[in-house]
Amino acid sequence: MGDELQKLVKQKRMLVMLLTMFAFLFYFGLPLSITFFPEIMNAPSPIMQISWAWLYAFLQIPMTWVLVFVYYSVMKRFDRLLKKLVQGDAA
Amino acid sequence: MNFTYFLFFICIIVCTMIITYWAAKRSNTTNHFYIAAGSLSGLQNGMAIAGDFISAASFLGIVGAIALNGYDGFLYSIGFLVSYLVVMFFIAEPVHHLGKYSLGDVVCSRFPSNKMRFTMASGAFLISILYMIPQLVASGLLIRLLLNIDYSISVMIIGSLMTVYVVFGGMIATSWVQIVKTVVLLSGTFLLSLIVFSRLDWNVSELIAKVSANTPLREQFFMTGQLFASPVELFSLQLALVLGTAGLPHILIRFFTVRNTIEVRRSLVSATWIIGVFYMMTLVLGFGTVAFLGYEKLVASDATGNLAAPLLAGEVGGDFLLAFISAIAFTTIVAVVAGLVISATTAFSHDIYHHIWKKGKSTEKEQLRAARWTALGIGLISTLFALQLENINVTFLVSLTFIVAASSNLPVLLLTIYWKRFNQTGVIAGMVCGITVSLTVVLLGPNVMNPDHGWILKEAIFPLYNPGVIAIPSGFAAAILGSLLSAKKESLNDWQRFAIFSQTGTGRERP
């Protein structure tokens, strides 16, 4: 069980690192973009003419929801695999 | 105070007292008192997390910040929301697996010693008290402004309520007060948002046009850079916001109140949905305030903008809606401070009294008695502090709490859970340095040292209002260097077992 469990935990860490990297790039991209490209960010976007800065800020909310959902769904599979490993070990 | 206001307040007090009475009958073991015996469902805990997290600073402060500064005010909401990703990915599940009642339990599951427990308990206690005092002061000022009740009486009412909830009802009462608060807060803000839109015939363009006409910033209101001229300030604030939540003890102990990791994750899914939807509505309320009330009227009532939501309610819905929203603001505050009281109580009575003083040998009855007396003491002391601080600007303590949490608790928890070479010296170095550096940079910064309106009437030595960018890396660096420079090492086998257990809850005995 030891090795397989370690492999499973490693996979979980990989997922967390990937999701975190994406989340941080997306999140810190907002202050960085409004600092370095204020003209572009304050210009209207094609979507309902709202500025890129507003659009980007709004997108942070669904981004959070989507990442939470992805993590939640993948972890369901993780739980199933974990249960199998633990039960196999007990048997 | 008119009759409508009185009725709403009495209604809230009666409802929460019924909850406390019901909870008191169930809080007869430490397990029930500290963590509601892990009996909450994920949805209930998610609602309680939102109730614990959305403080007066979030509800009233952000609506005001948006009404005064437009776009930049909204950036606060984003940071608060995204911070839950850090909690979900890195902290929540390991905390649930490793701890029983407190963050001290979490660190002691890897480094069992009284020194570790004392360090973690002191951190949790300090952070909870630091956060509680400004909330109490703000509540006193707010209720005085809204209802014309004397500051001392307002603080005493809120102080007594939070103490009663925790002393008698423990975590069960606290959780259900927070759940009720989330329901009324969401309903109230949703109702107010609908009224704002209905007054404009559901036309968003008209709302934007009205906002532009009624703010001195005109079109600039919708542009970036009204609040944060300096990029360093903006980045530093965003850093503290996104990392702070994962170090807040009153939020983290909520992960002990559910029975398994699935419910932990469900808690966070629900919390992020509630908080996200709520912050979208604060945007409508902020815009609505400028559109219907106008900048001048808002600033004339209160220069900080904190009264934006209640004033908007009065403007669009009359006295009845104003009373309703004021009652919601009141519930918001009591729910948050009750969460802080229970977090400080756990740190003291479970970690310090039971584990350190009584060496883990006190009986269930003694522990419960100690917890209730501690809650009473904490409630009393923080109320007394708040009564003395009426005339001092303490709002910066709210952001200070996020910085202290992100630079002390967070590095220690993260490295305990994920770093093989971390050791006890690192824990102490991280906690002490994180707390010291964050307090120092705030004390020497423009929040405290200000020639016009500071506690110290002098030019600030440290230039940043948001010093997270210095304090947070310092906490991490101290924790890492402390570990690397000290000789203590643990066996690889122990580490592997711990690492697997922290992620899966298997392969080791539960604490």
DSSP character string of B318-369: HHHHHHHHHHHHHHHHHHHHHHHHHHHHIIIIIIIIIIIISTT---HHHHHH
Q: Chain A, 37-66: which have a CB under 8 Å from a chain B CB? A: 38, 41-42, 51, 53-54, 57, 60-61, 63-65
- CB-nearest partner of A72 from B90, B269, B500: B269
Residues 232-261 of chain B whose Cβ lies under 8 A from any Cβ of chain A: 234-235, 238, 242, 261
Region B222-250: what's the mean pLDDT?
A: 91
Is residue B370 situated within a structural domain? yes
**Three-point CA angle B409, B412, B416, nearest 5°:** 135
Work out the average pLDDT over B411-435: 95
Interaxial angle between packed helices B114-147 and B364-388, expressed in degrees from 0 to 180 and rounded to the nearest 10: 50
DSSP string over B240-308: HHHHHGGG-HHHHGGGGSBSSHHHHHHHHHHHHHHHHHHHHHHHHHHHHIIIII-HHHHHHH-TT-TTH
Gap between the Cα atoms of B290 and B280, Å rounded: 16
Q: How far apart are the first and last CA of chain A?
A: 11
B106 inside domain: yes
CB A71 within 8 A of CB A19: yes
Domain holding B27, by residue range, is 3-390
CB contact under 8 A, A64 and B222: no
Task: Quick: pLDDT tens for B83-122.
Answer: 999 999 999 999 999 999 999 999 999 999 999 999 999 9
CA distance B334 to B181: 9
Residue B315 has pLDDT above 70, yes or no: yes
Given CB atoms, is A81 within the 8 Å cutoff of chain B? no
Residue range B163-210, pLDDT digits in tens: 999 999 999 999 999 999 999 999 999 999 999 999 999 998 899 999
Does residue B153 have a pLDDT over 70?
yes
Instruction: Say if CB B382 and CB B133 are below 8 A apart.
Output: yes
Length of chain B: 511
Lookup: tokens for B39: 């009996």
Radius of gyration (C-alpha) of chain A in whole angstroms: 20
Lowest mean pLDDT among A16-20, B372-376, B504-508: B504-508
Contact residues, chain A, for B510 at CB < 8 Å: none
Give contacts of A41 with chain B, Cβ < 8 Å: 224
Report the residue of chain A nearest B266, measured CA to CA.
A72
Residue B450 lies in a domain: no
Is pLDDT above 70 for B57? Answer: yes
Total domain count for chain B?
1
Q: Which residues of B touch A23 (CB under 8 A)?
A: 82, 85
Contact A61 B225 (CB under 8 A): no
Residue among A38, A60, A75 minimizing CB distance to B82: A60
Angle at B333 between CA B330 and CA B334, to 5 degrees: 90
Distance, in Å, from the CA atom of A51 to the CA atom of B224, rounded to the nearest integer, reads: 10
B283: nearest CA partner in chain A: A58
Sequence-separated (6 or more) residues with CB below 8 Å from residue A59: A26
Average pLDDT over residues B304-310: 85
CB contact under 8 A, B85 and A30: no
Let me know if residue B177 belongs to a domain. yes
> For B47-65, what is the mean pLDDT?
89
Interchain proximity A68–B71, CB inside 8 Å = no
Query: What does the pLDDT average to over B3-7?
Result: 83
Whole-angstrom distance, CA of residue B117 vs CA of residue B347: 9
Interface test with A, best of B75, B80, B81, B85 (most A CBs within 10 A): B85
Nearest residue of chain B to residue A69 (CA atoms): B269
B85–A61 CB contact, under 8 Å: no
pLDDT digits over B120-143, tens only? Answer: 999 999 999 989 988 888 888 878
Q: Is there a domain that residue B77 lies in?
A: yes
For residue B509, the model assigns a pLDDT of 64
Q: Are B319 and B7 in contact (CB under 8 A)?
A: no
Does A71 sit within 8 Å of B88, measured CB to CB? yes
Contacting B residues, span 257-286, partner chain A, CB-CB under 8 Å: 261-262, 265-266, 268-269, 272-273, 276, 279-280
The verdict on residue B11 lying in a domain is: yes
Residue B124: partners with Cβ closer than 8 Å, 6 or more residues away: B102, B103, B104, B249, B343, B344, B346, B347, B351, B409
Chain B contacts of A64, Cβ < 8 Å? 81-82, 84-85, 272, 276
Q: Does B224 touch chain A (CB under 8 A)?
A: yes
Range in B324-328, B390-394, B442-446 with the lowest mean pLDDT: B390-394
Chain A positions in Cβ-Cβ contact with residue B500 (cut-off 8 Å): 5-6, 9
Residue B97 CA to residue B500 CA, distance in Å, equals: 10
CB–CB contact B238 A28 (8 Å): yes
CA distance A46 to chain B (A): 16
Cβ atoms of B84 and B268 within 8 Å: the answer is yes
CB pairs under 8 A between A and B: 101
Residue B437: half-sphere exposure toward Cβ, Cα within 13 Å = 25
Residue B414 lies in a domain: no
> At residue A55, does pLDDT exceed 90?
yes
pLDDT of the residue at A35:
92
Indicate yes or no: CB of B89 within 8 angstroms of CB of A71.
yes
Residue B492, pLDDT score: 67
Q: Which of B221, B224, B237 to mutate to test the interface with A (most CBs of A within 10 A)?
A: B224
CA distances from B341 to B75, B92, B135, B161, B348 (A): 29, 21, 12, 11, 11
Q: Of all residues in chain B, what percent carry a pLDDT higher than 70?
A: 97
Q: B305 CA to chain A: closest CA distance, Å? A: 22
The pLDDT confidence band at residue B147, using thresholds 50, 70 and 90, is confident
How far apart CA B228 and CA B69 sit, in angstroms, is 10
Of the pLDDT bands very low, low, confident and very high (cuts 50, 70, 90), residue A90 is low
CATH number of the domain bearing residue B187:
1.20.1730.10
Q: Which pair of tokens denotes residue B67?
A: 């009404």
8 Å CB contact of A9 and B506:
no
B67: pLDDT strictly greater than 70: yes
Write out chain A residues lying below 8 Å of B499, CB-based.
9
Q: State residue A62 phi and psi, 5-degree precision.
A: -60, -30
For residue B27, the model assigns a pLDDT of: 87
Q: Which residues of A touch B259 (CB under 8 A)?
A: none
Instruction: Name the residue among A16, A28, A69 with its Cβ closest to that of B90.
Output: A16
Q: Does residue B395 register a pLDDT over 70?
A: no
User: What local confidence, expressed as pLDDT, does residue B21 receive?
Assistant: 95
- Give residue B32's pLDDT band: very low, low, confident or very high (50, 70, 90): very high
Which contacts qualify for B271-274: CB closer than 8 Å, 24 or more apart?
Answer: B271/B45, B271/B46, B271/B47, B271/B49, B271/B50, B271/B53, B271/B84, B272/A64, B272/A65, B272/A68, B272/B81, B272/B84, B272/B88, B273/A65, B273/B46, B274/B46, B274/B47, B274/B50, B274/B182, B274/B186
ipTM: 0.95
Instruction: Give the integer Cα–Cα distance in Å for B124 and B405.
Output: 9
Inside any domain, residue B470: no
On average, the pLDDT of chain B sits at 91
What gap in Å lies between CA B456 and CA B462, rounded to an integer?
13
What whole-number distance in Å separates Cα of residue A65 and Cα of residue A68? 5
**Which residue is listed with tokens 């170090």?**
B247
Which helix (H) or strand (E) segment is A49 a member of?
none
pLDDT band at B396 (very low <50, low <70, confident <90, very high): confident
Taking residue B238's Cβ as centre, other Cβ atoms within 10 Å add up to 25
Interface test with A, best of B501, B503, B510 (most A CBs within 10 A): B503
Q: Give the pLDDT mean for B59-82.
A: 91
- Rounded Cα–Cα distance for residues B466 and B463 (Å): 9
Query: What angle in degrees, to the nearest 10, is found between the helix axes of B231-244 and B396-404?
Result: 60
pLDDT attached to residue B284: 94
pLDDT at A48 over 90: no
Which chain A residue is nearest to residue B264, measuring alpha carbons? A72
Average pLDDT, chain A: 91
Query: How close does chain B come to A65, measured CA to CA in Å?
Result: 7
Arithmetic mean of pLDDT, B294-315? 87
Is there a contact between B224 and A53 if contact means CB atoms under 8 Å apart?
yes
- For residue A26, is pLDDT > 90? yes
| Helix, strand and coil in chain B, % to nearest 5 | 80, 0, 20
Nearest Cα residue in chain A from B268 = A68
